[in-house]
């Protein structure tokens, strides 16, 4: 089973920065993609940023230019550098990964436990 361990959340003032980390363990060679989602109270979980299959990064329009996705493959770790944080960024942030399951011919999803990001004004 793929396991995802997150860290880096916290409380910051508007305009500040945080860096979230997600380290994967288990059968990581089978991972197809990784990314970050967030979920605010009363809202649906939304994609924030993700690596595509060709290795490039996609970003939600709301974070484009402020957040940067990166990875350290030797450490099996993905990072989300969050700059110029806004109060509307406040949410629980979840690391996500999936892998191709050849038996069911589908993608299997894995989620981290979530880390709280709170941005005050």
pLDDT in tens, 57-106: 999 999 999 999 999 988 899 999 999 999 999 999 999 999 888 888 99
Q: Alpha-carbon distance 30 to 48, whole Å?
A: 23
The alpha carbon of residue 65 and the mean position of all alpha carbons in its chain are separated, in whole angstroms, by 16
Each residue of 20-61: pLDDT tens digit? 999 999 988 888 889 999 999 999 999 999 998 788 999 999
């Amino acid at each position: 089973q793929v396991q995802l361990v997150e860290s880096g959340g916290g409380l910051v003032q508007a305009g500040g920065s945080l860096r979230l980390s997600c380290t994967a363990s288990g059968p990581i060679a089978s991972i197809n993609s990784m990314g970050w989602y967030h979920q605010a109270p009363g809202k649906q979980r939304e994609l924030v940023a993700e690596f595509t299959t060709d290795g490039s990064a996609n970003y939600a329009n709301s974070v484009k230019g402020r957040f940067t996705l990166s990875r350290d493959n030797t450490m099996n770790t993905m990072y989300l550098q969050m700059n110029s944080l806004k109060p509307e960024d406040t949410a629980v942030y979840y690391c996500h990964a999936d892998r191709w399951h050849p038996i069911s011919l589908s993608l299997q999803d894995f989620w981290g436990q979530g880390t709280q990001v709170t941005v005050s004004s």
